[in-house]
Amino acid sequence: MNTNPRIDYHKTHPLSIFFSFYQPHIHLFLLDMSCAFLICLIDLSFPYLSRMAMNQLLPHSLYRSFFVLLIIFVAAYIGKGLLYYVVSYWGHLFGVRVEADMRRSLFKHLESLSFSFYDRNRTGVLMSRVTNDLFEITELAHHGPEDLFISVITLLGAFCIMCTIEWRLAVIVFAIVPFFILFTVLQRRKMRRVNLVVKAETAEVNATIESSISGMRTAKAYNNEESEIQKFNQVNAQFVRAKKRYYRVMAVFQGGMEFSTSIMPVLVIGAGGFFIMQGTMNFPDLVAFTLYITTFITPVKKLVNFVEQFLQGTAGFSRFLELMRTEPEIQDSIDAELLINAKGNIVFNQVSFGYKGTSRVLRDINLHISAGEKFAIVGPSGGGKSTLCQLIPRFYDVTEGRILIDGHDIRKLTQHSLRKNIGIVQQDVFLFADSVMENIRYGKPDATDEEVIKAAMKAEIHDDILLMPNGYHTFVGERGVMLSGGQKQRISIARVFLKDPPIVILDEATSALDSITEARIQSSFDALCRGRTSIVIAHRLSTIRNADRIAVVDQEQVLEQGSHQELMALEGEYARLVFAQQQIS
What confidence tens digit (pLDDT) does each residue in 260-277 have? Answer: 777 777 777 888 888 888
Confidence of residue 480 (pLDDT cuts 50, 70, 90): low
CB atoms inside a 10 Å sphere around CB 302: 20
Edge to edge, the sheet with strand 374-378 lists 422-426, 503-507, 533-537, 374-378, 549-554, 557-562
- Stretch 544-573: mean pLDDT: 87
Task: Using alpha carbons, select from 140, 65, 59, 71 the residue that is nearest to residue 99.
Answer: 140
What's this model's pTM, rounded to 2 decimal places? 0.69
Confidence of residue 3 (pLDDT cuts 50, 70, 90): very low
pLDDT of 504 higher than 50: yes
pLDDT at residue 162, rounded to an integer: 78
pLDDT at residue 517, rounded to an integer: 62
Q: Residue 507, CB half-sphere, CA atoms under 13 Å: how many?
A: 19
Residue 61 has phi, psi (to 5 degrees) of 60, 35
Strand partners, 306: none
Q: How far is CA 368 from CA 71, 278, 405, in A?
A: 91, 104, 10
- The rounded distance, in Å, linking the Cα atoms of 233 and 227 is 10
pLDDT of 100 higher than 80: yes
pLDDT at residue 409, rounded to an integer: 92
| Top-confidence range, 214-223, 338-347, 509-518 | 338-347
- The rounded distance, in Å, linking the Cα atoms of 451 and 437 is 10
- The rounded distance, in Å, linking the Cα atoms of 157 and 163 is 10
Confidence of residue 2 (pLDDT cuts 50, 70, 90): very low
- Stretch 383-396: mean pLDDT: 87
- The rounded distance, in Å, linking the Cα atoms of 55 and 75 is 23
* Residue 455 near residue 539, CB atoms below 8 Å: no
Q: What is the DSSP letter of 118?
A: H
pLDDT of 152 higher than 80: yes
Across all residues in the chain, what is the average pLDDT?
A: 81
pLDDT at residue 412, rounded to an integer: 92
Domains of the chain (ranges, CATH numbers): 14-324 (1.20.1560.10), 346-584 (3.40.50.300)
- Stretch 401-424: mean pLDDT: 90
Q: What share of the chain is helix, strand, coil (3-state, %, to 5)?
A: 65, 10, 25
pLDDT at residue 450, rounded to an integer: 92
pLDDT of 512 higher than 60: no
Confidence of residue 82 (pLDDT cuts 50, 70, 90): very high
Total length of the chain: 585
pLDDT at residue 468, rounded to an integer: 86
